[in-house]
Homo-oligomer: A and B are copies of this chain.
Amino acid sequence: MRICVLGGDGYCGWAAALYLSRAGHEVAIVDNFLRRQWDFELGVQTLTPIQPLADRIRVWQELTGKSIELFIGDVADYDFLSSMFEDFQPDTVVHFAEQRSAPYSMIDRKHAVFTQVNNVVGTLNVLFAIKEFKPDCHLIKLGTMGEYGTPNIDIEEGYIQIEHNGRTDLLPFPKQPGSFYHLSKVHDSHNMMFACKIWGLRATDLNQGVVYGTVTDETSLDEALINRFDYDDVFGTVLNRFCVQAVTGHPLTVYGKGGQTRGFLDIRDTVRCIELACLNPAKAGECRVFNQFTEQFSVLELARMVEAASRKMGLHVDVDHLPDPRVEAEQHYYNAKHSKLLDLGLQPHYLNDSLLDSLMNIAVKYQDRVDTSVFLPQVNWRNARNRRSKLQAAAAIAALESKS
């Protein structure tokens, strides 16, 4: 199968590209390196020292004999995207190429506008390109569990049967996203459903939970293949950050009460879920939704788990409850369904002691690279300003200006 991974230089995209390549598929990576540019903008870097993409791909080929084709450009640039389609002729497009940080989208107006324009236009372009160049191509698009918010009812996978005044219909699950980023994914979801309906496209919308871990069977083959490990306040995910905080003797930064409950999954399950979706494509005209996570945890539960793992390593760890910089329920009902990928054969890697130990060990191994100044949240939902003096949003502005 010819699989094109949009955003293949990013955290999930890189791991997925290698996994699919090793599994014998013809893989192409499309990337414009915006993710690396955001690190420069924010003055942060991944804990793990990642290599330039060209080097990563060269080493992968040397080690495995498998080549990965490279297309450097922006999916929001339709001419570029068209040439990629004409050249590579993908059977499947896996679309990770979006701005994926909620805090980044909440920095100020420019970052909010950039996030929504970048993500919505990119996905519109992908939909139009599939229609124009490869109508049978299967689109696998990364959504987020955050699209649903935290309703007081069970969360279904994309659609819900509603009975109302004696009539029933199967309708899109109501969305209550919690940031301009999460909103951009809701916009994408609606656009995709519509494109599948009117053009008969086939799409899978993967509403992914929070991903943790960095090692996969592929990235561990060589230091040059190492994946990102983000722990900063903007792009870092919570479990990664807790591990780095524990190892460097800093209190774990729980936002508010910590009762915020979310779906989580191991990066090794992310890549397998992508392959399962590739191997079992949606039908023509179908826009199906899978909730892609394996376990639910509250933030405080994760903090307690990291505390326990630290104790085993002889580290003492405190838990700090900071005022929540986000506007969100700190205690709430949460029960999200996630059976469709299990039905397709996913065998989850659950978060257990040994995995947590391995995460802690990565934090220990690279602790010299830790910048403790990026632990505390700098972006506050209530204060999103028009202008943020420290950040020039150069990437945001440059990207917007090229959106014609």
Which residues of A come within 8 Å of B, CB atoms?
Answer: 78, 82, 109, 112-113, 116-117, 120-121, 124-125, 128, 131-132, 151-154, 160, 162-165, 167-169, 171-180, 183, 186-187, 190-191, 193-194, 197-199, 327, 333, 381-382, 384-386, 397, 400-401, 403-404
Whether B190 and A175, one on each chain, are in contact in the complex, defined by CB atoms closer than 8 angstroms, is: yes
Docked complex Cα distance between A152 and B171 (Å)? 9
Whether A176 and B187, one on each chain, are in contact in the complex, defined by CB atoms closer than 8 angstroms, is: no
Docked complex Cα distance between A179 and B109 (Å)? 27
Nearest chain B CB to A186 CB, angstrom units: 5
Most chain B C-beta atoms within 10 Å of own C-beta, residue among A113, A160, A333: A113
Nearest chain B CB to A162 CB, angstrom units: 6
20 A–B contacts from the bound complex (CB under 8 Å): A78-B109, A109-B124, A113-B121, A117-B403, A120-B120, A120-B187, A132-B386, A151-B171, A152-B169, A153-B163, A160-B162, A171-B174, A175-B190, A177-B194, A180-B191, A183-B190, A183-B194, A186-B190, A198-B384, A403-B403
Nearest chain B CB to A328 CB, angstrom units: 9
Nearest chain B CB to A109 CB, angstrom units: 4
* Chain B residues with CB below 8 A from A397, complex form: 404
Nearest chain B CB to A200 CB, angstrom units: 9
* Chain B residues with CB below 8 A from A384, complex form: 128, 131, 198
Whether B190 and A177, one on each chain, are in contact in the complex, defined by CB atoms closer than 8 angstroms, is: yes
Nearest chain B CB to A279 CB, angstrom units: 29
Docked complex Cα distance between A176 and B403 (Å)? 27
Known A-B contacts: A109-B125, A128-B386. Give 18 more (CB < 8 A).
Answer: A113-B124, A132-B386, A151-B169, A153-B165, A153-B171, A154-B164, A162-B164, A162-B174, A163-B163, A171-B174, A172-B176, A174-B174, A177-B190, A178-B194, A183-B187, A186-B190, A198-B327, A403-B403
Docked complex Cα distance between A156 and B289 (Å)? 25
Whether A199 and B382, one on each chain, are in contact in the complex, defined by CB atoms closer than 8 angstroms, is: yes
* Chain B residues with CB below 8 A from A191, complex form: 116, 180, 183
A184 to B, closest residue via Cβ:
B187
